[in-house]
Amino acid sequence: SEYTNNPILNILLNDKARYAKLHNVDFEIKVGRIDFSFMKPVEVTTIFANLLDNAIDAVMKSNTDNKYIIVNLDCYNDFIVINITNSFSGHCIWKDGKPVSNKGKNHGLGLINVEKVVRKYSGNILMNEVDNEFICNIIMNP
């Protein structure tokens, strides 16, 4: 499917959606009028591959029947808003507003790389867990 005007992002979204569906995870993508042409291809990949892999990982480990990932991309005024929500069971260990990876010492680099890209575009990343849901919000002002 053509979700955005960004071919790399479309490939990533289609790939992750296909993988999720194969594993009985509902994958919903809502895209408003959004343009990622201000970002380099590697930056688009850094943000979306990392965040979607983390979401898929968390959903697959969860012991809930209702497994889902919702990706919301939109633009408000001059702000780019990325919201990724996934079902989740258990609790994260948090440090400095970020969940701590339990994948070993070289993991957790993904989020650091995401933050670098987000900060480059005067952005903020906020993560939260509420009622068996993990929410990642990114706001950028390119």
pLDDT of the residue at 103: 59
Q: Give the containing element (helix H, strand E) for 140.
A: strand 133-140
Find where tokens 């053509």 sit. 2
pLDDT of the residue at 96: 73
Residue 3 burial class via C-beta count within 10 angstroms: exposed 0-12, middle 13-18, buried 19 and up: middle
Give the residue among 101, 105, 106 at the shortest CA–CA distance from 127. 101
Q: How far is CA 39 from the centre of its chain?
A: 16
pLDDT higher than threshold 80 for residue 70: yes
pLDDT of the residue at 101: 62
Tens-digit pLDDT profile for residues 56-67: 998 998 888 889
Distance, in Å, from the CA atom of 120 to the CA atom of 76, rounded to the nearest integer, reads: 19
Tens-digit pLDDT profile for residues 89-124: 877 776 777 777 665 555 567 888 999 999 999 999
| Close Cβ partners of 108 (under 8 Å, ≥ 6 residues apart) | 98, 100, 101
pLDDT of the residue at 33: 87
What does pTM read for this prediction? Answer: 0.90
pLDDT higher than threshold 80 for residue 136: yes
